[in-house]
A and B are shown apart, each in its own frame.
Chain A
Amino acid sequence: MAKATVRRPVGRRGPGPFPTGASASGLSCRNTLDVMLVALTVAVSVAALALAAWCGFAAYRDQPTKDWHFIGMAVVTVLAFVQLVIGVVQLARGEDPAEGSVIFVSYLIGAFAAVPAAGFLSLAERTRWGSATVAAGAVVLAVLEVRLYDIWGG
Chain B
Amino acid sequence: METGTVGRTRLVQGPGLLLVWLYGVMSVGAVSRTAFEISTKFDRAPLAYTLSGVAAVVYVFITYTLVRGGETARKAALVCCGGELVGVLTVGTWTVVDPAAFPEATVWSGFGWGYLFIPVLLPVTGMLWLRRSRRS
Q: Which residues of A contact B (CB under 8 A)?
A: 102-103, 106, 110, 114, 117-118, 121-122, 125-127, 129-130, 132-133, 136-137, 140, 143
Contact = CB atoms under 8 A, between A and B. Distances in A.
Contact of B18 (A110, A114, A117, A136): A136
Most buried by A among B16, B18, B28, B116: B18
A133 B18 contact: yes
A121 B17 contact: yes
B14 A125 contact: yes
Classify the secondary structure of B's interface with A.
Answer: helix
Nearest to A135: B18
A129 B36 contact: no
Contacts of B15: 129
Contacts of A125: 13-14, 17
A121 B67 CA distance: 12
9 contacts: A103-B36, A121-B21, A125-B17, A129-B15, A129-B17, A130-B17, A133-B17, A136-B21, A136-B22
B21 A133 contact: yes
